[in-house]
């Protein structure tokens, strides 16, 4: 484990329903760094995000997750959130009956440094909505209900900017977005980085979203294992060649066992 890491995932093996999905995974992210996690469908990328966030569906069989100096492996999801971890969902949930503004208000309640009066909260949320090209009428609508894919992702970015976590995992925040919505998401990422120098772990297929970000490290996951790590130069290479060679290699290694 690297001691100066903000997030350190060490030898993590995790399963669901007795089926092992992540095998001995390591990941170290320092404060202010941007990491990218890539890999084919079904590789285990979303599982990785959910296990780091403490989704109780998954069982950690081995290994540890350390965040901001504390072992969080056994911590509940809400405590991890309060410690400064954030996960945006690949498929954001809909909650009928809960207006978006009430939901946002609840997410910051009881958080040191984030609590604000009603008037200030409304001003802040309006400001962030404008930054994301989001119609403020959405704030009064039920969370996610009838929102397009792009609108749901804007809501995730709004939460990110409001909460200013120390580390945000963005799970395919860019998937299914048109060009305008994509630019909103990348603007959101920039605004997050600029406002609090937070760390990012971006799970993506779409390398366009990464174009104007400074990426510190790229991790490739295949079959629940990190099979390759490199600097940002790996991104154009994957753009050109895809994941086939990694998948072939991983299959070869599996054959030998």
Ligand X SMILES: Nc1ncnc2c1ncn2[C@@H]1O[C@H](COP(=O)(O)OP(=O)(O)O)[C@@H](O)[C@H]1O
Residue 37 exposure: Cα atoms within 13 Å on the Cβ side: 29
16 binds, among ligand X, Mg ion, none (CB under 5 to 8 A by kind): ligand X
Based on the shown chain and the rule CB under 5 A, indicate whether residue 46 belongs to the binding site for Mg ion: yes
Determine the Cα–Cα distance for residues 155 and 236; give it in Å rounded to an integer.
Answer: 29
Cβ proximity to Mg ion: between 46 and 164 the closer is: 46
Based on the shown chain and the rule CB under 6 A, indicate whether residue 15 belongs to the binding site for ligand X: no
Stretch touching ligand X by CB under 6 A, among 34-42, 79-87, 207-215, 245-253 = 34-42
**Structure tokens of 174?**
């860019």
**Binders of ligand X among 49-68, rule CB under 6 A?**
57
Stretch touching ligand X by CB under 6 A, among 5-13, 37-45, 182-190, 247-255 = 37-45
Task: Specify the DSSP class assigned to residue 65.
Answer: E
Based on the shown chain and the rule CB under 6 A, indicate whether residue 39 belongs to the binding site for ligand X: yes
Cβ proximity to ligand X: between 1 and 91 the closer is: 91
Minimum CB distance to Mg ion, residue 47 (Å) = 8
Sign, CA torsion 149/155/158/163: negative
Place of tokens 């971006």: 202
Cβ proximity to ligand X: between 44 and 54 the closer is: 44
Whether 145 and 94 have beta carbons less than 8 Å apart is answered as: yes
Cβ proximity to ligand X: between 84 and 156 the closer is: 156
**Binders of ligand X among 177-216, rule CB under 6 A?**
none
214 binds, among Mg ion, ligand X, none (CB under 5 to 8 A by kind): none
Determine the Cα–Cα distance for residues 92 and 86; give it in Å rounded to an integer.
Answer: 13
Cα distances (Å, whole numbers) of residue 103 to 12, 34, 138:
33, 28, 12
Minimum CB distance to Mg ion, residue 37 (Å) = 10
Determine the Cα–Cα distance for residues 84 and 67; give it in Å rounded to an integer.
Answer: 9
Cα distances (Å, whole numbers) of residue 221 to 19, 40, 47, 203, 242:
17, 8, 11, 10, 12
Residue ranges binding ligand X (CB under 6 A): 16-17, 21, 39, 41-47, 57
Binding site for Mg ion (CB under 5 A): 45-46, 90
């Amino acid at each position: 484990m690297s001691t100066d890491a903000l997030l350190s995932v060490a030898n993590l093996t995790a399963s669901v329903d007795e089926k092992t999905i992540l095998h001995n995974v390591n990941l170290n992210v320092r404060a202010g760094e941007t990491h990218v996690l890539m890999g084919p469908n079904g590789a285990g990328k979303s599982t990785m995000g959910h296990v780091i966030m403490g989704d109780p569906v998954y069982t950690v069989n081995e290994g540890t997750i350390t965040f901001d100096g504390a072992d969080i492996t056994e911590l509940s999801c809400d405590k991890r959130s309060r410690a400064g971890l954030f996960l945006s969902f690949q498929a954001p949930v809909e909650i009928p009956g809960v207006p978006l503004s009430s939901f946002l208000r609840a997410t910051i309640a009881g958080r040191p440094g984030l609590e604000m009066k009603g008037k200030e909260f409304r001003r802040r949320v309006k400001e962030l909505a404008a930054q994301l090209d989001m119609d403020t009428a959405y704030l009064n609508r039920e969370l996610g209900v009838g929102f397009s894919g792009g609108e749901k992702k804007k809501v995730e970015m709004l939460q990110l900017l409001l909460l200013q976590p120390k580390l945000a995992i963005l799970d395919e925040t860019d998937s299914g977005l048109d060009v305008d919505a994509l630019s909103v998401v990348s603007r959101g990422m920039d605004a997050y980085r600029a406002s609090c120098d937070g760390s990012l772990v971006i799970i993506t297929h779409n390398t366009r979203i990464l174009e104007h970000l400074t990426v510190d490290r790229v991790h490739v996951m295949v079959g629940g294992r990190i099979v390759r790590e490199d600097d940002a130069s790996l991104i154009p290479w994957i753009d050109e060649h895809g994941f086939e060679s990694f998948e072939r290699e991983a299959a070869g290694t599996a054959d030998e066992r």
